[in-house]
Amino acid sequence: MSDRQDEPVRVQVPGEASAQLLSAVGGEPADTRGQISWATFEWARNPYVILITIYIFAPYFSTHVVGDPVRGQAIWGNINAIGGFVIALLGPLLGAIADSGGRRKPWIISFVVIMGFATFSMWFALPMDGGIGILGAALLVIIANVAFEFSAVFHNSMLPYVAPHNKVAGLSGLGLALGNLSSLLILIFMLIAFMLPGVVDWSFVPEVAMFGLDVAAYENSRISGPIAALWMVLFSLPLILFTPDSAASGANAKDAVRNGLRSVVRTVKGLKHYQNVALYLFARMFYNDGKTAVLIFGGVYAAGVFQWGPLTLTIYGVVLSIFAVAGGFLGGWLDNTFGSRNAILISIGGTSLGLLLAVSMTPNEIFFVPYDAAGAAPIWSLPFFTTVPEMAYVSVVILIAIFITAAYANSRTMLARIAPPEKMSEFFGLYALSGTATAFLGPLLVGVATALSESQRVGFGAVLILLVGGMVLMLFVKEERAELAAEDRRD
């Protein structure tokens, strides 16, 4: 049997090339197996974000490794700020190398190995600055975060070569869907295997944690590192084995970087002819940094303020992951009903309001109104979300998850509506760059605000500056298609 049986069937129209079988860059696309393997890489990578940076390791680090939730939130902000700065500094260089063509899988393999080693080693971050200590754990997180983003640069650059030109969006969407699904499934696995045993008497839950982990030593939180690492390495194999790579281009990496940076500078300078698009990209930098900070610090804030343990945080992650799916549908409905610009304003406005309400919750306050927690009975017998303020916080954060997901969808559509078709690829390159150029800003703001105020509430609430700032700038953006500038017509 031929080993090329999965290739797409060619339907030749007399006198006409089978254009639908060409990749987005004009070559032969990967076969079906290669395309699905490309999408599977998102299945491999996304659990790192969920397990390490949001719901399990991040709260464990800030609360138990550091030993002080307020100081821990400040340190976690600085960790993400440093990683974001490295990404912003080196991202364009690697982007230029990726855009120069040639083989990409060796780069991806290198970053997967680096990320896998760093993530697995997080197991050795023990409570109260033990094991590798705060500094060692911080370095591992920075290394893993940077490797995660850099692997995405080369993975994304493979898409136009892998997918048929008329299936690029569909394959990209499949990757995102697989990533979200894998994150949800691994959270459910963590819940049943490590968090619920010994806590509930349910028939489908083991009596003890898998591998005999010691919950008292927070091993059920520390195991998130090895699991994320093994998951990523294992499910990266389909991409490595089955997705074809481009042939070596013979291009000099130094020349590729130089030419790539010149292209970026030329494109940025050309923005003066597209002021509306430039204003949109500038506004997006602010509100995108704000959205990212909300995702990074939501679990850290809850762990410190409400003293949530691994069980509650994992359930929190499962709940938000489920409701975030609704955000994609909401984003499409808002866009079709009100237009992309107004949809963004609604989504970011909803996120801002949600964040304000979220920081109004503490064990003793609801919407900044004092609440008698000492005299209140648990609202149910389950071992999580047992108080009214906790349930109120979860309800508000569910809305945040929905609006943030909607905003991601609306943002891409907005650029597609206002950029000139002749420069669409160029502007989407700037769109990607604007998403990383100031990636350190949100975490830095939270870290500094938390350290100065000695308050998690103030530190987390400071993200409103970015969200509201981006929303105000969006008020001046027009939803109208830009015409190709005269200078570009001459080119």
Higher confidence at residue 180 or residue 92? 180
What letter would DSSP give residue 125?
A: E
Give residue 3's pLDDT.
Answer: 45
Lowest mean pLDDT among 7-11, 54-58, 242-246, 293-297: 7-11
| Helices within 243-339 (DSSP H only) | 253-270, 275-305, 310-338
Those residues whose C-beta lies under 8 Å from the C-beta of residue 87, and which sit 6 or more positions away, are: 145, 146, 149, 150, 436, 439, 440
Residue 11 has pLDDT above 70, yes or no: no
274-486 has the same fold as 28-270: yes
Higher confidence at residue 413 or residue 64? 64
Give residue 249's pLDDT.
Answer: 63
Instruction: Indicate the pLDDT class of residue 438, thresholds 50, 70 and 90.
Output: confident
Q: What is the mean pLDDT of residues 180-197?
A: 94
In the chain, where are the structural domains located? 28-270, 274-486
Instruction: Tell the CATH superfamily of the 274-486 domain.
Output: MFS general substrate transporter like domains (1.20.1250.20)
Locate 455 and state its tokens: 């308050």
pLDDT per position as a tens digit, 189-199: 999 999 999 99
Give the fold, CATH level 3, of 28-270.
Answer: Growth Hormone; Chain: A; (1.20.1250)
Q: What is the mean pLDDT of residues 195-214?
A: 92
Q: What is the mean pLDDT of residues 186-207?
A: 93
Higher confidence at residue 96 or residue 231? 231
Lowest mean pLDDT among 47-51, 87-91, 477-481: 87-91
**What's the mean per-residue pLDDT of the chain?**
88
Q: Are residues 298 and 54 in contact, defined by beta-carbon separation less than 8 angstroms?
A: yes
The top-scoring range by mean pLDDT among 85-99, 169-183, 240-254, 291-305 is 291-305
Give residue 25's pLDDT.
Answer: 65
- Predicted structure pTM score: 0.87
First to last CA, the chain: 50
